[in-house]
Amino acid sequence: MADRQTIINSVKSKYGAVARASAPSCCNPSGCGDCQTTDISVGYATDELNSVPKGASMGLGCGNPTSFADLKPGEVVLDLGSGGGIDCFLAAKKVGERGFVIGVDMTEAMIECARQNAASGGYSNVDFRLGEIEELPVEASTIDAVISNCVINLAPDKSRVFREVYRVLKPGGRFSVSDVVAKGPIPSTVKNDMERWAGCVSGALDKNDYLRLVQEAGFERIEIRSEVEYDYQRTADFSLASVTLVAYKPINEKH
Ligand SMILES: C[S@@+](CC[C@H](N)C(=O)[O-])C[C@H]1O[C@@H](n2cnc3c(N)ncnc32)[C@H](O)[C@@H]1O
């Protein structure tokens, strides 16, 4: 596997270019086209897409984590790798004016894009912060629900991300994440290809390892709510899939 900084640089470079290509309106309504090498987008309901600022919907996600997060008015939500902000804006509607949504992304152009979208949509209950999901710019035990859409596979150290999610959640808080996972060993020709890492392929963890790391971080009631297998790079003993899982931080946390 490539070193941490090489991964971070190549992911930032890819998503910086995606955000800049969509300027000045962030993105066109038909999406960014080549954002993914895998064509792994999983659709939102049409009324959801129509409800967010046009530039927020970049076609970069692989699920709809907000729809499984059971968000309630007044809750505080954190979105890891918020991109143009689509899931933040969907969450903002659900938690309402008494609630609050924080989006974190390490790519400056994406944060700028999301802030423009928030301004154009008149969202006063959303804040976009520049930062890495392995070291979240968020205080401990302050979040009711963490969501994330097609981002954790891009991180060099997934275990650290899950521990950070655990740290920022309130006791009893939940985590609804859509992500790409591998079923079987990733072919060696793909594994060290940085372009494919940034395209949500090479960094995918084996599904069982992914679930194990979530459990080792301290989560309980881990449940896969949706799973879609892709044909991209499929062989007899390997495939990629998008999973959406929900997990809870225990109310009486042990660590
Ligand atoms: C595939 S896009 C998904 C964007 C958004 N979640 C969506 O569904 O439209 C991945 C996003 O995660 C951000 N990202 C990737 N790795 C990250 C990391 N380690 N820390 C913070 N942000 C990261 C990228 O800058 C990019 O905006």
Which residue's alpha carbon is nearest to atom 8 within ligand 1?
Answer: 61
- Name the percent of the chain lying above pLDDT 70: 91
Residue 14 has pLDDT above 90, yes or no: yes
Q: Is 111 in the pocket of ligand 1 (CB under 6 A)?
A: no
Q: Is the CB of 91 inside a 6 Å radius of any atom of ligand 1?
A: no
Q: Is the CB–ligand 1 distance for residue 211 below 6 Å? A: no
Is the confidence at residue 132, as pLDDT, over 50? yes
Q: Does residue 29 surpass a pLDDT of 90?
A: no
Q: What is the mean pLDDT of residues 27-31?
A: 34
Domain ranges (residues) in the chain: 4-29+41-248
Output the residue whose Cα is nearest ligand 1's atom 27.
83
What is the pLDDT averaged over residues 140-168?
98
The CA 100 to ligand 1 mean position distance, Å, reads: 20
Distance 79 CA to ligand 1 centre (A): 10
Atom of ligand 1 nearest to the CA of 149: 6
- Does ligand 1 come within 6 angstroms of the Cβ of 15? yes
Give the pLDDT confidence score for residue 32 in this predicted structure.
Answer: 37
Domain 4-29+41-248 sits in which CATH superfamily? Vaccinia Virus protein VP39 (3.40.50.150)
Is the pLDDT assigned to residue 77 strictly greater than 60?
yes
| pLDDT digit string, tens, across residues 54-73 | 899 999 999 999 999 999 99
Give 236 Cα–ligand 1 centroid separation in angstroms.
30
- pLDDT tens for 81-113 read 999 999 999 999 999 999 999 999 999 999 999
CB of 68 sitting under 6 A from ligand 1: no
Residue 254: pLDDT band (50, 70, 90) is: low
Helix H, strand E, coil C: the string for the chain is CCCHHHHHHHHHHHHHHHHHHCCCCCCCCCCCCCCCCCCCCCCCCHHHHHHCCHHHCCCCCCCCHHHHCCCCCCCEEEEECCCCCHHHHHHHHHHCCCCEEEEEECCHHHHHHHHHHHHHHCCCCEEEEECECCECCCCCCCEEEEEEECCHHHCCCHHHHHHHHHHHEEEEEEEEEEEEEEECCCCHHHHCCHHHHHCCCCCCEEHHHHHHHHHHCCCEEEEEEEEEECCCCCECCEEEEEEEEEEECCCCCCC
| Average pLDDT score, the chain | 90
The pLDDT of 179-193, averaged and rounded, is 88
